[in-house]
Amino acid sequence: MTMNRRTVLQGAAAASAIIAAPGLVRAQAPAIKIGILQPVTGALAQDGEYGRLGAEIALNEINAAGGIKSMGGARLQMVFGDARSNPEGGTSEVERMQSEGVAAIVGGFASPIVLASSQAASRYDIPYICDVGVSDQIVSRGLKNTFRFGPGFGVVTRTALENLSKLNDAAGKPAKTVVIVHEDGLFGAGMAKLLNDRLPAAGFEILETIAHPTPSRDMSNVALRIRALNPDLVIPSSYYAEFVLLSRTMQQQRIRPKGVYAILNGAASNFRFVKEFPDAANLVMDCNHWADPRKPKTAQVKALAEQGGRFWLYNTPLNYSCVRLLADAIERAGSADRGKITEALAASTFADHIMPYGPTKFENGQNTGAAPVNTQVQNGDIKVIFPDAFADAKPVFPAV
């Protein structure tokens, strides 16, 4: 055998390949595909983007920490799907995720998208974790694959009403009259009906219930009506743009009720609103999903989320926590098998999330510990005012 340049190079290449082989094997531990479903185009695009951000932060963190250890450090790989802000979009993305062989799906955001896509996923027994959608129908259908980490509509409204009474009692009952402003879709209309049933029993007089469509381009009439009625309290249930419009109009018209107490509002606990319109947002209260401010991890995730001038919305910590919940289930299942992941999820006691919930416990797919918190915008920051155990500020009420 003659030694020439070529054979030397071949030998060197072969030798280095053998030396590098263990590293290659480690790097090639099969990736586990995770479907992240969010509406990033259409009416819900803002929420979808922030949901995806939370999922990305969690996936990066898990992979950087060595992936799924029980599976030889398998990495989690995101298969992203744009739900197009409608159920058809969500369903067709579930089909695509199925063809790509995802182990589980996280997300959906809006209730109609979650209802349709979790059902599509159930045909393939793909575990589905709903991030936000609050419709109580999501977990009442008996679908074994569907889990909701956050609270549902019933829990949120009950908590909101209890805390409203507490707040009012603590301040010496300054609020007696209420005007309800709501969007006429699923959550706004449902909320208004519930409030009309329950508020009188809690000692509040409802002066008027004002509905508006989404989208609305002008809120002057609503604001003028509020001025004429002069209520102590305004309870708005609207999406982002409409609530921002309403509070700016109220600010311009100098309409100052004793309090603005929002429930599941699209803007009242949204840093974009607080940063862009600090005066209009100041002292607005909301009962909503929110990250636990006491957990050190929350600050880390928040810092990552705010890179590049983005805002801190509840979608990000919720999706971050949902993906971590899923990773924990895969870790315990020790397999990417869908049935095993579903079982592991159902038995989950995951506590390392950044929501104010305590250890996870699913009952018929609903996390029983999930609860909303009350927030208030105070001097350009969003503070938690209820429950006392998580609060990082005292409520400012009445505001005038």
Partner 1 sequence: MTQQPYLPILAVVAGLALLPLGLSSNTVLNFLSFAMIITLAAQGWNILGGYGGQFSFGHAVFFGTGAYGMALLQVRFGVNPWLALPVAMGLGAVVGFAIGYLSFRARLRGSYFALVTLAFAEVFRISANAWGFTGGAAGVLVPLRLDPANMQFADKRIGFWLALAFVAAVLALTLAITRSRFGAQLVAVRENEEAARALGVDALAVKLKAITLSGAITAAAGCLYTQKFLYLDATLAYGPWISVEALLAPIIGGVGTVFGPLVGAVVLLGLGEVTKTVFANLMGGSVPGVDLVVFGVLLIICVAYAPRGVLGLVQGWFRRKASA
Q: Which of 326, 351, 347 is nearest to 68 (CA)?
A: 326
115 touching partner 1, by CB under 8 A = yes
Q: For the chain, what percentages of helix, strand and coil (3-state, to nearest 5) are there?
A: 45, 20, 35
CB of 215 to partner 1, least distance (A): 12
Residue 143 touches partner 1, criterion: CB under 8 A? yes
Among 71, 186, 283, 396, binds partner 1 (CB under 8 A): 186
Q: Which of 169, 184, 276, 381 binds partner 1 (CB under 8 A)?
A: 184
Applying the rule CB under 8 A, the residues between 62 and 81 that interact with partner 1 are 80
Q: Does position 276 bind partner 1 by CB under 8 A?
A: no
d(CA 198, CA 207): 14
Binding span for partner 1 by CB under 8 A among 109-117, 125-133, 242-250, 337-345: 109-117
Based on the shown chain and the rule CB under 8 A, indicate whether residue 208 belongs to the binding site for partner 1: no
* Total residues interacting with partner 1, rule: CB under 8 A: 33
Q: How far is CA 233 from the centre of its chain?
A: 27
Closer to partner 1 at the Cβ: 133 or 151? 133
Contact between residue 292 and residue 354 where contact means Cβ atoms under 8 Å apart: yes
Binding window for partner 1 (CB under 8 A); candidates: 37-45, 162-170, 236-244, 387-395: 37-45
Q: Which window, 42-50, 278-286, 296-304, 342-350, contacts partner 1 (CB under 8 A)? A: 42-50
Q: Verify binding: residue 262, partner 1, rule CB under 8 A.
A: no
When binding is defined by CB under 8 A, the residue of 57, 58, 75, 82 that contacts partner 1 is 82
Looking up tokens 């074994």 gives 144
Q: Which amino acid is at 277?
A: F
Exposure class string for 107-131: b at 16+ Cβ within 10 A, else e? bbbbbbbbbbbbbbbbeeebbbbbb
Least distance CB 81 / partner 1 (angstroms): 8
Does 116 bind partner 1 (CB under 8 A)? Our answer is: yes
Q: Does 31 bind partner 1 (CB under 8 A)?
A: no
- Min CB(87)–partner 1 separation in Å: 6
CB of 96 to partner 1, least distance (A): 5
Residue 60 binds partner 1, judged by CB under 8 A: no
- 386's enclosing H/E stretch is strand 381-386
Decide if residue 188 touches partner 1 (CB under 8 A): yes
Give the one residue of 51, 108, 112, 151 binding partner 1; rule: CB under 8 A. Answer: 112
Contact 124, 95 (CB under 8 A): no
Exposed / middle / buried, residue 89 (Cβ in 10 Å: 0-12, 13-18, 19+): buried
Binds partner 1 (CB under 8 A): choice among 189, 229, 304, 393: 189
Which residue lies nearer to partner 1 by CB, 185 or 387? 185
Residue 284 corresponds to which tokens in the numbers above? Answer: 């607005």
Give the residue carrying structure tokens 């607080």. 274
Give the C-alpha distances (Å, rounded to integers) separating 2 from 5, 6, 139, 350, 361.
Answer: 10, 10, 74, 64, 70
H-helix segments, 261-391 = 271-276, 278-281, 296-305, 315-333, 338-346
45 belongs to the binding site for partner 1 (CB under 8 A): yes
DSSP states of 251-282: HHTT---SEEEEES-SSTT-HHHHHH-HHHHT
Cα–Cα nearest to 113, from 98, 96, 97, 128: 128
Interaction pattern, residues 305-334, with partner 1; x per rule: CB under 8 A? ------------------------------
Contact footprint for partner 1 (CB under 8 A): 40-41, 45, 48-49, 80, 82, 86-88, 91-92, 95-96, 98-99, 112, 115-116, 119, 122-123, 135, 137, 141, 143, 184-190
